[in-house]
Homo-oligomer: A and B are copies of this chain.
Amino acid sequence: MARPLTLYYAPFSRASRGLWMLEELDEPYALRLIDIRKGEQKRPEFLAINPAGKVPALRDGDRTVAESAAICAYLADRFPDAKLAPAADAPERAAYLTWLFYAASNIEPAVMARANKWDVSAYQASWGGYESVIDNIAGAVRRGPYLLGPQFTAADVILGSMVRFGVSAKLIPNRPEFTAYIAHLEARPALQRAIKIEAEYVAQLKT
């Protein structure tokens, strides 16, 4: 029998977020490598799973979830015992959803606009200016250790992955708030395992 959870995955892509999230759970899962250098994400057999032609995608039995933030939100609610999301009626749910969606829809375009020197009107774009996005994230993680304080959630997987990548790629400034936040995230065994698994896939692809 196929395992119920299968992540369609490519190393060094946004699929790393799904891998980390799965490692935070205590559920069996399989990784299915999609070689994006060969364009496998645009082949008909993968488009039947995710018509958007992107990794990650997650299969859970006959259900499919795409978009890394949706995968994290889905898994967090699907496996409540892991406590990776405040319950639907918990007061913290408001901040949890705010940060999950904020990360998904603001950080990447703001950072890419800056890196590519696009002329963005802060009034026109929903993400506003790069500086205000960076200030807003810094404010959110200042208290720590996580976005919601003591409780680590799926929103940290998404926002944390973006901050980790952004700082290492020098797309996000290395402010003390981010250094501390990244250190808290990297202390998590699940992220350490995900990093190790990713390295093994990278080595495998190189051979």
Q: Residues on A close to B: CB < 8 A?
A: 14, 51-54, 60, 62-67, 69-70, 73-74, 77-78, 88-89, 91, 93-95, 97-98, 100-102, 104-106, 108-109, 112-113, 116, 118-120, 124-126, 128, 132-133, 136, 139-140
Contacts and interface: CB of A to CB of B under 8 A. Distances in A.
Nearest to A94: B63
A105 B69 contact: yes
Contacts of A112: 109, 120, 124-125
B108 A65 contact: no
Contact of A126 (B14, B65, B124): B14
Contact of A97 (B73, B91, B109, B126): B73
Q: Which of A62, A102, A109, A119 has the most CB of B within 10 A?
A: A109
Nearest to A88: B77
Contact of A70 (B54, B62, B91, B101): B101
B102 A105 contact: no
A70 B124 contact: no
A101 B98 contact: no
B14 A98 contact: no
5 contacts: A14-B126, A52-B106, A74-B93, A74-B97, A116-B120
Central interface residue in A51, A60, A124, A133, by most chain B CB within 10 Å: A51
A123 B53 CA distance: 11
A43 to B, nearest CB: 14
**Which of A101, A120, A139 is the most central at the interface, judged by chain B CB atoms within 10 Å of its CB?**
A101
B65 A98 contact: yes
Contacts of A89: 78
B102 A67 contact: yes
Contacts of A94: 60, 63-65, 74
Contacts of A118: 113, 116, 118
Q: Which of A65, A97, A98 lies at the interface centre, i.e. has the most chain B CB atoms within 10 A of its CB?
A: A98
